[in-house]
Amino acid sequence: AGLPAAEGVRMEMLNGSVWVSWLCGGGVLEYVLDWRPLVSGSNNSFNWRKIPAQNMSITVTLGEDEMLPFTAYNLSVHTLYHQGLGQPVSSLIYTRQAAPVSSPRLMVRNVMQTWAMLGWEELPLADQRGFVVNYTLYLGTSPSPPPLAPVMRMSSDSRQFVLTDLTPATSYYVWITASTRVGEGPRGRALRFDTQESQNFLLLISVIFIIFLVIFITVACVHKRTRSLTAKLLPQWCCQRIPDASNSKAAITQTRLAVAVAVDVLQTPGLELEPVIAEVEETELEEITTPLTPDPSPEGLYWSKPPSESTAQPVITSTVTYGYEKHFLPNPEDLIYD
């Protein structure tokens, strides 16, 4: 077993100094006080001081003992015996404190419809600049809100908190700060989380979907049964589907082929399409100056001029032929010979 440690060690931090006291123990030759900075990169190295056994307190000053402000130190009190050093009594000290320079790292551990569980990590020792006494949460619905009232202040030992009475399907932004006895640190970046949809809403959507699915299946079954029954009662030709020839593959292929050929012809270099000019011959009809009368012959197929009163001459026939009629109507000679 190790040698006994100092008893009743107390450390009180003043403005710029630390007062350390202890109770006198039997057999102690002297006390050894040492301190070292806990922040890496500090310019201060290990320091120590011997105190006579009859002294039961000492004050470590900021300037005289080469200690930096806003820096954490591990201060230990050792007892010295003839057999060696006793067990140390150590404590974390600051000669002077300030507000933290950053905020803890915040995270969302679980989110439901009306509550969310948040967690955070301890602030790095170099950023604390004093003893953290509490953490403060701020909640809002905008990433850049005006100053908000704190939701909750937790002790320095807390590492999680549950937000309650939240609104379902809503976006929230949350901040966290750390505070020392001197003041509160910055808020840092906001953390966003979205609460889940309400169970009632999801249930309503599910019920509506099931109802529409049942209606669709029912209509499909009834339609199928109706077609089957109609096919049995009506003639077969009533239930057959007549294909549309305009939508057939052959018609579509022919149409596309004709369009492609026409396009190729129009795109042929050097090809000029000229309109076809038809020649029209104008024929003047012969004017009839002598009136014609029907021939009283039995055939009645001739037209002749009327006989004169003075002389009786044989009937002279006159045939009038119209230009367009010789292509469609027979002339008198054709009728006689027929």
**If pLDDT is split at 50, 70 and 90, which confidence band does 185 have?**
very high
| Residue range 10-52, pLDDT digits in tens | 988 887 888 899 887 788 899 998 888 888 765 657 788 888 9
Q: Which DSSP string corresponds to 3-16?
A: PPPPEEEEEEEETT
The predicted model gives 84-106 an average pLDDT of 91
* Res 84 pLDDT > 70: yes
Who has greater pLDDT, 253 or 178? Answer: 178
Residue 280: predicted pLDDT: 62
Enter the tokens of residue 249.
Answer: 């593959």
Give the integer Cα–Cα distance in Å for 72 and 210.
65
| Residue range 268-296, pLDDT digits in tens | 666 555 555 666 666 665 555 555 555 55
* Res 57 pLDDT > 50: yes
**If pLDDT is split at 50, 70 and 90, which confidence band does 103 have?**
very high
Contacts of 292 (CB under 8 A, 6+ apart): 303, 304, 305, 318, 320
Tell me the H-state helices in 48-144: 125-128
Q: Contact, 194 vs 112, CB < 8 A?
A: no
Quick count: other Cβ atoms within 10 Å of Cβ 239?
Answer: 13
Give the integer Cα–Cα distance in Å for 314 and 79.
180
**Phi and psi at residue 193, to the nearest 5°:** -145, 150
The predicted model gives 182-189 an average pLDDT of 90
Report pTM: 0.55
Domains of the chain: 7-94 (2.60.40.10), 105-199 (2.60.40.10)
Give the integer Cα–Cα distance in Å for 112 and 256.
61
Q: Contact, 150 vs 137, CB < 8 A?
A: yes
- DSSP class of residue 143 equals S
Tell the burial category of 118 from Cβ atoms under 10 Å away from its Cβ (0-12, 13-18, 19+): buried
